[in-house]
Structure 1
Amino acid sequence: MGLDITERNKALAVLERHKLVLETALDGFWVTDERGFLEEVNEAYAGMSGYTAQELAGMHISQLEAQERPEDTKAHIETIISQGYDRFETRHRRKDGSVMDVEISTSFMPEHRKFFVFCRDITQRKLADLELRHNQELLIEAQRLGRLGSWELDLLSGELRWSDENYRIFEVDPVVKTLTYEMFLGTVHPDDRDKVDRAYSQSLLDRQPYDVVHRLLFAGGRIKWVHEHCDTVFDVSGKPLRSVGMTQDITEQKLNEEALRVAAITFETHDAIMITDAEANIIRVNRAFSEITGYLPEEVLGQNPRMMNSGRHDRAFYIEMWQQLTHIGTWSGEVWDRRKNGEVYPKWLTITAIRDERGETSRYVAIFSDITERKQAEEEIRNLAFYDPLTSLPNRRLFMERLRAALPASARHRDYGAVMFLDMDKFKLLNDTLGHHCGDLMLVEVAKRIKSCVREMDTVARLGGDEFTVLIEGMANDEQDASRKAGTVAEKIREALAHPYRLGEHEYHSTPSIGIALFQGNADTLDMLLKHADMAMYQAKGGGRNTVRFFDPVMQGNAERRDALESDLRLAVGRNELRLYYQVQVDNEQHPVGAEALLRWEHPGRGMMMPDQFIPVAEESALIVEIGNWVLDEACAQLARWHAAGQMGGLTLAVNVSPRQFARPDFVAQVADVIERYRIDPARLKLELTESVVSGDLVGSVDKIRALRSLGVSLSMDDFDTVYSSLYYLKQVASDQIKIHRDVVQGIASGGSDAQLVQAIVDLATDMHLDVYAEGVETEAQLDFLKQHGCMAYQGYLFGKPVPIGEFEELLGKLQE
């Protein structure tokens, strides 16, 4: 009995803490009636809306709604009532007239005709989504302007992904999501298919990029010309991981080239044209040539095009070009040349050999375009795909690729690496107070400081918001050595980030929370490794912030066991796994006067579980309300059975009430309902309340207690162990009984303060006309002392331990005899 009560007290303390968590939660919380009028609002929503909780009480939802019309809100309420639950996004208007985006999660409890509503401010998330969509639109527009599609082939899974422009180039409906390399080859002209396949295969063998020009064949014989460029990412062992490519529709360019051959060269084009004789001496150029190169015609006529050589291509490059011109009659490719002013620039060059009637080359026609903007667009696409635009750090995608390559490398070298997760403490407060511009300035500075603390080979990435990751490879072959080094680096980062930040005219102080997960080889998946680092970071936050924590497997095990226990507990009521045990309460003559109902859980796999093993989980997950309702219902049903039996109808039955259960607006109505439903004498039902139940909202609690007393229910002030801390509450709540805590009872045999405290409690109860009842009585000496000092009722192992109903009724029979 002693252990049971102590642990229950701990559970009640946990319950009170979680009530405070709800009151101080960042998410808003309402309780409304079925018409949508607010009855209860927490401080989080008051802070979000700008109203006080008192101003919000009594307001209608439509007064806050900035998106729905009042009639729409009314219809929405009816919909939620019919389906019982809804989760949606809308907009609320603050007191100052500004609008915020909110995510609403609401449940309607038909038995209470109430809505329970959680509100989350998602304004920043919406703005982030808008910025992301804007960046994506910029990427799509850049590809459209350059007629440049992009693609990515995952060589491990075989998955092929295309950009919107690529779908347009290949004329494939974007709804076709299953793309493969074989499907791509199927669109290539049969005469070019082998060339394209060989070029790609050879690039994988050579581990070099490739460029290839080929045709696409469509229905009806229609042809497109495309230029493809591909680069492949390899792991450290040389195994290809993924290929990224660009596809440019050059059909128009090809048609122009063909027109030049057919029409004996036209200069009416925006592309530069240069004509040479068979010996490659320049004999004619057009205006675009001068605009691009800076050379006037008279400066280049009679000269060899090598005068514009940039020096970027070796001799073998030009030998291959001339061999193709000789055998095929045309060559296309990217060339870097030098303008007259010395600037080196890229151009896309196509050279065609013009043959005379004898089949001999008489002229070479070179058509080229300045592709500087296209190269810049390619670079922009690459940066958008792999780098964070604010800090220029690798983004999540590139970080994951590097981490994916780091794990097998670690396995081969048998060394340890580390992943660090960090975020800046209270960063949202900075954005809220100084604005997002200052927040961005700080993030840029954070990125610089982190990079200054690690090696050039290490990866520092920004995942989003104020979350950063660090990947450190090749630390040590010994785990302890690796742990020490990782801790040193993390501490160096922590110290660097804790220095003040100069943000424009403001000086700002912030600190990081850093979590570290070590890895060696492929023991953990990517997701699991990141989860471990993330858990360690949140442990650092829970440890007071501005600190470093390593991932502890015990932490993960505890979390998994707690999640499993919560899942089982959600089903416990429906599966009829909860049990009530009863412990007898006796008077001074040791005659039974009542019992206390104590909860047990008969778990199918873990056996009989005591409250301290599952009540804390119930408190955290709000399951305590459902469980408390079950206990109240079952206790009243037992009182009804005793009354019907006629032999034990005079017994009282004490039921513990949790703070969260007591705080519900419909608690008094629920008690009244269960009394009416089982037709029991309310005087036989005793509700045991702790000081923590009433101390949070004294005025509201007193009103509820008065309402309960008007029902005829008996009330007991449970765990009463200090006169002075609880005296004020006793005067206000006017309970029927004071219950002396078992810890005080255990200490009275030794004399001293506990004995004096018992006397003080009894004296106080006498003055306030209250009964005194002691729990945890285990010895005759304790019983004698309590009797001598005016105690009136007792409970403890001296009289009987908590037992199932059958054993309890047998015990009552013996005591009554």
Structure 2
Amino acid sequence: MEFFFATMIDLVISREWLATTNVVLACLLGIWIFRNRRLYRRSRAEQANQRDLIENLSEGIYRSSPAGRQLSANKALVKLNGYETEAELLAAAKNIGKEWYVEPRRRDQFRAILARDGFVKDFVSEIYRHKTRERIWITESARLVRDGNGRTLFYEGSVREITETVNRLKAEELLRKLSSQVPGGLVQLERNAKGTYELSYASAGFRTIFGLEPHESFSSPSRFLRMIEKADRRDFARALRASRDALEPFDMEFRAIAADGTNKWLRASAKPERVRGGVMWHGYVNDISVRKRNEMEIQKLAFFDPLTGLPNRRMFMDRMARAVGRCHDRAGCGALIFIDLDNFKTLNDTRGHDVGDEYLVQVARRLQACVREGDTVARIGGDEFVVILDIAGHDYAHTYRAAIMTANKVLAAMRGAFEIGQFNHASSASLGVVVFNGRDCQPEDVLKQADIAMYQAKAAGRNGMAVYDHLSMSPESDRYRLLNEFKAALGTDALELHYQPQMDDSGHVIGAEALCRWQHPEFGTLLPERFVPLTEQFGLIREFGNFVLATGVAQLARWQRDATTAGLRLAINVNAQALSSDDFVSNLSALLEAHGVKPGLLTLELTESIMTRDRRHIGNRMHALKALGVRLSLDDFGSGYSSLAHLKRLPFDELKIDGSFVADIESGESDRALVKSILGTARTLRLTAVAEHVENARQEAFLRAFGCDFFQGYHYSPALPEDAFAAFVQNRRQPAALTAAPRLRQSA
């Protein structure tokens, strides 16, 4: 019984436990179910969030089959391919490898990497935007997903479009290639809001210009500025500030020192723009050293004498204008010294141009040693130098004294012997000095005045100076103008020889006298009386005489080659000063030989003024001419210093009766007697007699009656140009027997 009750009690207790247990289990189950539902909801929410996140990622996310079928794609990938919905993309894309990649083999390369590594990272490819077929660039990363047995289920990964980046890189590469081929460098310089500078970009060409290694850092503008020549840094900084403030282009040429110490000329050009509260310049730097050297060489050729290195006429005129301007501004005076070397042409012709050039170089050095720093020494012509004294601000008296002192230094320097190789040259110079005030003059006027004064010094005997006197020399201005124009005409077509026929007593042409004519553009034809005195006064007679002699000998050569004029003589006037030149005989000999002219056809007419000179010297010179075979005539006989004693000692072949006597033989008994006497003297000395200025038949008859040999004057013809003279000879053509040379003196 006890067993029964115990059993019943146990049952009751078991039922209560079971109920309790059930309740507990039910509670636990409810809790588990609630928790799992919450976890489920959370999982679903997380999945939704993940899907939403994937859908809204900026990168394309996808799954694809190994065979190339697109399985899924987020919005970014759909948009990248040009579609509106995933379904539209999945329906259109059949084979990724064939439809997507520009290069079909690229898909195989992608799969090979996945099969080998299980993943691929940053795989760059050019693809088609699927719908529009636009070519774009992407970078792709993916992994391979397998099942428990290792079989490949699908690929999943991400795609990001990098077309803009690739294009930028391509542009940068193109820019790098282009910039490497141009002779300069590209640069970007930025000034930020804080006021500091930074080199944002410098091309390889920029580094090359400054001698830097390809990868050497050059980000610091201070290093760039230190490479600019110190003298140009301030101007560079000032120009950069002006460009920044006005936002105007920067353009400047400056000097720089490269890393290896090479000096260069550079040009920087850049355009500024506002950026981020500051300014950025986009520009270009070019090495212009070669151009600058060429420009400086051109400038040197344009403004400096290549032989002496002194300023030339162009630069002299510029500095002269500045000197006049300074005198005007400071109410002071300046001075100019005109220097002409005496007998330079003789040195040049006898010793050669090399010696002449070296002499000019040494002259330039001596002149520079005579002046102070700031004064200008220039070479403005062959043997013409000028000195501008930089003494503006002083009064006339002080300037005058300074100019005279400098001129004396120059004269002393020029008198010293010049050693040119093994040759010592004793020289001198003629100086013209002018003091100017800058108020009433132009640079050209000052130069003319100094030139006039120099010619005065030369006319006074050379080796000295003359100071321009504004009162006494001003009337010379017209003559100076004519002189300058004559100098320009010398040796040109403006000067020409005309030929006045010389006739024998049968009326036949036996020769001519050469007479110069100047075809002046304003005054017309000028006769020698107008310009020869200028050549004598201002020291140009030798140059003029050389021109006439060379032109006359050339004319004789042409006559010899023409049957009409062959055998004709030519008489040329020779100034005593020209005859005294040491090189006169040698120059004449060279002319005759060069043209192949028979010396006996040339007659040199000398005036009686030679009697007043060194007779022994003149006599030797005349005998040297006779040795050449040239004929000598005493011109204007009877009007000067002639005497029978002198005539006997000098080797003349001919006497030319002064025209003033011939003009008066019809009316003046004394003139007729004098002409008879001259003709008698000629017969006594066995000289040919020539009468000039014969104007009518009566004069000719009288002269012929008393033994005159030849005649010239307007009775026959005025002086004629070359062609007209040849026509005149043709009209008066004579038998060959009559063209024989006239009687010549048998002994000297």
TM-score between the two structures when normalised by the length of structure 2: 0.40
Q: Which has the larger radius of gyration?
A: 2
TM-score between the two structures when normalised by the length of structure 1: 0.37
